[in-house]
Structure 1
Amino acid sequence: MLPLSTPLYRRRIGRIALDTAACFALSALLVASALAQDAAEKAAPLKLQLNKVETAGEACRITMVIDNTKGAGLKSYKVDLFAFDTDGVAQKRVAVELGPLPPRKTVVKIFDFPGIACNKVGRVLLNDVLACDGGDAAREACLERTETETKAGLPFDR
């Protein structure tokens, strides 16, 4: 703070400089906060839950819950899955489109592993993410942020 003996114009210039510096600091803080939030959203986990398996004729019907409650929306999210038998031998491969995935939303998708009964499936593997379109998400980044879990009584790995 400048003493009162300082001419008025110098005191005003000093005050303007302090106000300008405070505004600049606040702006920088807001920009840094927004960038940190964007980075956290991009790295937010995308959770795939093998929720239910049931026999549907000659196929094993899979109910998958996709939790995107912390991430940005995706127009397309296509995964490559393998079903292994109870001896650990790969039996069936399917590519499944699980998108579109709205931002901050959980969705349920149902699809079949054709030609294999559910009681013959010992494990499901998320082999790869084939497509991940939307926002700044790259396919490799989607694979990295994808987490798997199961409630279906058989392992679901990544």
Structure 2
Amino acid sequence: MQPMRHIFCVLTGLAALWGAAGSAGTTKGILMELNAADLVGEACRVTFVVTNQTDTPVDKAIYETVLFSEKGSVLMLTLFDFGALPTGVPRVRQFQVSDTSCSRIGMVLINGANTCTVAGDQNEICGSGLGTSSRIDIELKG
């Protein structure tokens, strides 16, 4: 009977962890994933998947973005225009980083929202609750 109690405790613990992990995905905010980085000619094309998890559609989102080398030095400070971000619908955005090999980029930092327009007015929604992740070797921070 003792082994059954241990199995029950383990399963209960796993269920609790599963529930916590599931609720983490429902965070309200803008979720940004660095999905790919491909060399196209002399440029690195970076691909993002962005999902607006808020209840408010964003008309225009432009983020100040910093690209760092693998050694940590700043390669470039630029603006990436993510355009409109409707609620709950993933959007894929690609940006060409001229004269830069993808292998030179070690980290991408979203330094903040340069422009965030909701219903024609500037809004803080693009920066508050920004969640970042990366599917590739290049780290994405926000």
TM-score using structure 2 length: 0.74
Q: Within 5 A, what are the aligned runs for 1:11-22?
A: none
What does residue 59 of structure 2 align with? 75
When residues 62 and 118 of structure 1 are mapped into structure 2, their CA distance, relative to the original with a 3 A threshold, is same
Matched residue, 1:94: 78
Question: For the residues of structure 2 that align with 1:143 and 1:51, how far apart are their CA atoms?
Answer: 20
Large movers: runs of 4+ above 6 Å: none
- The residue matched to 1:145 in structure 2 has which SS? coil
Q: CA deviation at 1:71?
A: 3.3
Shift of 1:128: 1.4
Please give the per-residue CA displacement for 1:122-144, whole angstroms capped at 9, x wherever unaligned.
11110111011014975444212
**CA RMSD, Structure 1 to Structure 2 (Å):** 2.0
Contact 1:76 1:100 in 2 (8 A): yes
Counterpart for residue 55 of structure 1? 39
Secondary structure of 1:119's aligned partner: helix
1:53-87 deviations in Å (ceiling 9; x for gaps): 11111211011000114432111000011111111
Write the letter of the residue equivalent to 1:134. V
Question: Any stretches of 5+ residues in structure 1 without a counterpart?
Answer: 1-42
Equivalent residue letter for 1:81: T
Question: Aligned residues, how many?
Answer: 116
Structure index of larger Rg: 1
State the alpha-carbon separation in 2 of the partners of residues 139 and 59 from structure 1: 32
Q: Percent identity?
A: 22
The whole-number CA distance in structure 1 between the counterparts of 2:135 and 2:121 is: 28
Q: Hey, which of these two has a bigger chunk of helix by percent?
A: 1
Identify the structure with the greater strand proportion: 2
Q: Which residue of 2 aligns with 1:150?
A: 134
- 1:105 corresponding residue in structure 2: 89
